[in-house]
Amino acid sequence: MGAFEDQLGLPRSQIIGASVLHIAPPELAEIGDKADLGTDGPGWYVML
């Protein structure tokens, strides 16, 4: 596993193609989802 996979505790196969709503804790997922939609300032990206 890579560092990002270790941090999430998920295998790469469950991360790739998943939205932030599926892989982050609810309180962080909401922030990330708003950023991705452009409704809460600039978005943030994760490169694997």
Show the domain range for 16.
3-37
Residues of the chain with pLDDT under 70: 36-48
48 belongs to a structural domain:
no
Number of domains in the chain: 1
pTM, entire model: 0.53
| Residue in the block written with tokens 């809460």 | 40
User: Tens of pLDDT along 22-35?
Assistant: 888 888 888 877 77
43 belongs to a structural domain:
no
DSSP string across 7-36: HHT--HHHHTT--HHHHS-HHHHHHHHHHH
